[in-house]
Amino acid sequence: MFTHAITRRPGPEMVDGITSQNLGKPDFELALEQHDAYCRTLRDLGLDVTVLDAAPGFPDCCFVEDTAVVCAEVAVLTPLGAPSRQGEQLTIEPELARHKPVVRIVPPALIEGGDVLLVDKTFFVGLSDRTNAQGAAALADAVRPHGYDTVVIACCPSLHFKTDVNFIGNDTILVSPCCDSLPELARFRHVVVEDDEAYARNCLYINGTVIVPAGFPKTLAKVQATGVKTVVIDVSEFRKLDGGLTCLSLRF
Ligand code: CIR
């Protein structure tokens, strides 16, 4: 069960955030409204939500998921692989320290939270342009004393592992065709999301409800067919920066 979430409002600098999309610049005012709605949804699902102010100098600072990996026992600060985001993890440390003991991973280990999926007591870590093998090993070292296993996966060439794979409850994952046959994921039921709705692979599971991004009817139907409750919200302005639903919060 999650009880808390930390989010961070985007700042006007978000228009200079990193992107691989060709969807235009985000509309800052609309992004603020969508961010408010996102936080409201988490509250409606029972979470105590802390909303931080934007961190000047970090255009991608609203994507807090990448700055840390949090589990029940500890918060692990992650040195981000994107050069313009390096150091961003330190801006979240004071807030995390209010809740958990904090462990810092340091370069040359690099790891972003978007590459880390926690299910029960297992961390699945995808290697990517943002996360290297040293980063995965450092995370494993930080969480092993608390009884967690770490499974390292050399996955598809996507931005993050959770661009391709997300947990939606009932032992089920949403998965890209490319990651569908990974032996490390064989223990799960798979719901394959085809490339025409690739963005919707990044759904967010909160305590029995799956938040699904607006505009992806096939994925919504597939998620609903698993029997789980769903809520749909629009995060179009964050999509313009490659940001999905999971990356807008840290949950614990
Ligand atoms: C970035 O490229 O770092 C941001 N524009 C998007 C980060 C998305 N993070 C995530 O999916 N965990």
How many independent structural domains does the chain possess? 1
Output the six-digit token pair for 221: 């139907």
3-state secondary structure 107-175: CCCCCCHHHEEEECCEEEEEECCCCCHHHHHHHHHHHHHHCCEEEEEECCCCCCHHHHEEECCCCEEEE
**ipTM field:** 0.98
Give 22 Cα–ligand 1 centroid separation in angstroms.
15
Q: Is the pLDDT of residue 148 over 90?
A: yes
| Residue among 15, 21, 35, 63 whose CB has most ligand 1 atoms within 8 A, to mutate | 63
Output the CA–CA distances (angstroms, integers) from residue 59 to 39, 62, 77, 112, 126, in the order listed.
Answer: 19, 8, 19, 16, 24
List the one residue out of 168, 206, 246, 202 whose CA is nearest residue 47: 206
* Residue 157: predicted pLDDT: 82
What pTM does this model have? 0.97
Q: Is the pLDDT of residue 23 over 90?
A: yes
What's the CATH code of the domain at 117? Answer: 3.75.10.10
| Domain range enclosing 220 | 4-251
Omega before 108 cis (within 30°)? yes
